[in-house]
Structure formats: structure tokens, C-alpha cells
Amino acid sequence: MIEFKKLTKSYDSKTKVVDQLDLVIKDGELVVLIGESGCGKTTTMKMINRLIEPTSGEILIDGKNVLTMNPIELRRNIGYVIQKVGLMPHMTVGDNIELVPYLKKWDKAERRKRSAELLEMVGLDPDIYLDRYPNELSGGQQQRIGVARALAVNPDVILMDEPFSAVDPLTREQLQEELIRLQGEVRKTIVFVTHDMDEAIKLGDRIAVMKDGKIIQYGTPEEILKNPVNEFVEYFVGKDRLWKSPELLMARDIMNKRPAGVLAERTPAYALELMRERDTEFLVVVDAPADRSRRMLGVITPRELKGKGTAENNRMKNLMRTNHPTVMDNTNMVEVLALMKSSQVRHVPVIGNEDGYFKGIITYASIVNIITDVITDFNPDDREEENA
């Protein structure tokens, strides 16, 4: 875990590049620092391995203050990947990867085994690349070597300073995917600096939006996209960006929270009247009234009610269908749309992931509503008021 306590960096008495910053980064998280140029994000990251010394405050890694450590040893135990890679041009790929293990006096055979393992991990064949030189590699391959070098001594913490910004867009996307795959395997604590919000959303477990040396908002990509704390964050994120990232929209965000539900003991005549009043052809059969937590038992459409309106002994529990597709409230919109298409349904009930209760219904109309909200001015509270 990395913890900043009142961390401050100033170069004169008037200007604070980083201002009283408090932040906790949990073990295994990839946290992105993002903001406009000069906001203090790179300075903040470089204070972790003391490439820049803080003016005041503390930086703790697993409870140990880095300011009490030997800075050389500190840096050798923290992986570091920079924009221009920084490979030694006169050294082979293998020797570049093995540099820190060499400085830490690893055995030669152990170093060579580790560099071969890491090349395979970043998707490069060691038989082909181990003895090549950096100028024989593409920019994307050099960045992969940079990542491999950062992992050489298996550090718990890795710092990445805009590592993919100098490569072309296609290579950048490939490197991002590779980092996601690697992080899934090794689960390092990574501090990643970027100025690209698309990259931050794609990679980050959490994002710290910075301005004038302060953290304006810290949260998951979903939290920041849906609930920006002020106009600066909203402007920086972009009002339409949430729609560009539909995988971050969950069923709970796009469902109608006041759906038509009917109790299991109700008659067909009551169900038909309710459909007329609510202007719907789809009812969810539930076990409790709307003012209580309730579970979904099945669904009713006009097809199940046809010819049953005068039969007093018929009840919803006898007529309902119990095999209609449902989704959990944390299912993302991409998966919801795929389910609606594959199942050829226009209504999908939403069930609480944690409590199993019926939460709402997704329809094409509710999806259109969310698109409208996102494109104009996304505000979940406003949408709830409209549905009320």
C-alpha cells in the first residue's frame, strides 16, 4: 500500500506544485494520476521513488516512510517505466532487462532465466529478442522491454510515466491491452501518469483527477464518469464520454426504477387493467407490494392472459412464465444489449446482485433515455425524478 500524508512540493515560497496531498493506493491497484499539464501529477509520482524530493509530508510504502530509506536502494526495488523507454543502446535486450538484478548481484544464470521469462510474459520470443539491441526494435517492442525491465526483480510497486504516449495509436492500444493482461497475472501496485482520459478509464482501477497540485476527485472510472464532483472534472472527463464507454454503464443505471409489478394472487382482469393504466404489455410477477423488498416470480404478457380474463380461479402464479431472461444490477450495458438481441426480448427484469430482489426493468425506451441523458448533461438524480 502507498500512502501520501500532507505531501507537498514547492520550488519557492509562493508556488506549490503539489499541495498538501492525501491519498491511499491499495495493494494490487492500478491508480491513474491525470490532469492538465502542470497539475503536479508527474511530480507526485516521482516523489514516490525520490527522483524528486518532497518539501514536506510523508510517503509510506507498506507503512515505511520512503524518506528514511536509501534512495538508490529504494529505486532498485521500485519498477519504473518512462515515455522514452530509456534502454541502454550499447546493451542487448537481455542485458537491459537484467540491469537491476545485476546491480543486486544476482547470479548470471538466474538473471538470464529471469529475462527470458519476462520476454515471454510481454509477448516477445526470447530466442529472437534476447541478444538484439534496442535500435533493432520497433517503438512498441522497446516499450515492452521497458515493462519487462521494470518487473525484473519482481517489485511490489511500479511507476509508469506516460509510457505509451510516444507510440502510434494502434501500438498504443496493443500495449494497453498487454498491460491489462499482465496486471491480471501479476497484480502489482501501479501508479500510472497520463493526460489521456480514454487511457485512464481503460486502465485504471481508480483515477485521481488533479488540478493545481491537489486531487479534485478520486474514485473508480465509473464513479468519476457518472458523478463528477464539479464543473472542472465534468469538463475534463467530457459529458459524452460515458456513452463512449458503454461497458461502464450498468443495468442499475439504465433500468426503469418504477416498473409495473403485479402480485402473484392477482386476477387476469386486474393485470389487464394495470397494463392499460401503465401503458405496457409486460408485467413482472412479484411476491410483495411495491413499498417492500420483493422477489421476481415470473412475467406476464398479453399472450398468457388471452382468454383468461373471466376465469376467477386463475391467478398470476398459475399463468406466469418463469423462464424469462434476467440480468443482475451490475451487468454492463454491452452484455444487456447482447442478451436482448440473442434472446429476442424487449424487456429485461433486473435483479439485485447482492440481495436477489427485483430492482427494475430495462427496455429499449429506458436505454434511449440514458443515451439522451449522457449526450446532454448526465445526471442520475434528474433521471430518477423523471421516472417518478
pLDDT at position 307 is 74
pLDDT tens column, 6-16: 999 998 877 88
Nearest Cα neighbor of 311 from 276, 274, 269, 271 is 269
Class of domain 2-239 (CATH, top level):
alpha beta
Instruction: Say yes or no to pLDDT of 376 above 70.
Output: no
- Sheet (strand 78-82) strand order: 78-82, 157-161, 189-194, 30-35, 206-211, 214-219
Q: What is the DSSP letter of 222?
A: H
pLDDT for 84 equals 72
Tell me the mean pLDDT in the region 20-41: 93
Q: Which of 122, 51, 113 is nearest to 80 (CA)?
A: 51
Give the per-residue pLDDT at 385.
38
> What is the pLDDT at residue 387?
38
Res. 231: pLDDT tops 50 = yes
Q: In this predicted model, what pLDDT tens digit does every residue of 283-298 receive, in sequence order? A: 999 998 887 889 999 9
- Report the C-alpha gap between 201 and 220 in whole angstroms: 9
* pLDDT (mean) for 55-77: 93
- 143 pLDDT higher than 90: no
Residues 78 and 131: beta-carbon distance below 8 Å: no
- The pLDDT assigned to 13 comes to 74
Q: pTM score > 0.85 for this model?
A: no
DSSP assignment of 111-170, as one string? HHHHHHHHHHHTT--HHHHTT--GGGS-HHHHHHHHHHHHTTT--SEEEEESTTTTS-HH
Q: CA angle, 250 as apex, 173 and 183 as ends, to 5°?
A: 40
pLDDT at 386 over 50: no
Query: What distance in Å separates the CA atoms of residue 214 and residue 218, rounded to the nearest whole number?
Result: 11
What are 354's three cell numbers?
A: 447482492
**Interatomic CA distance for residues 11 and 162, integer angstroms:** 23
Determine the pLDDT at residue 216.
95
pLDDT digits 0-9 by tens, 347-356: 999 999 888 8
Q: What is the pLDDT of residue 237?
A: 81
Predicted confidence (pLDDT) per residue in 88-139, tens digit: 889 999 999 999 999 989 999 999 999 999 998 888 899 999 999 988 988 8
Indicate the domain borders of the chain: 2-239, 252-387
Angle in degrees, CA 217, 10, 218, rounded to 5: 10
And the C-alpha cell for 215? 486531487
380 pLDDT band, cuts 50/70/90, is very low
pLDDT in tens, 177-189: 888 988 988 899 9
pLDDT confidence band for 72 (50 / 70 / 90): very high
Asked if residue 381 has pLDDT above 60, the reply is no
Residue-level pLDDT at 240:
65
Q: Which three cell numbers stand for residue 288?
A: 410483495
Q: What is the mean pLDDT of residues 331-350?
A: 91
9 CB contacts (<8 Å, ≥6 apart)? 16, 17, 18, 40, 43, 44, 47, 52, 54, 55, 213
Read off the C-alpha cell for 327.
440480468
CATH 3.90.1170.50 at 252-387, yes or no: no
pLDDT confidence of residue 59: 96
User: Which of 73-87, 114-128, 146-160, 233-247 comes out lowest in average pLDDT?
Assistant: 233-247
Q: Which residue has the cell 517503438?
A: 139
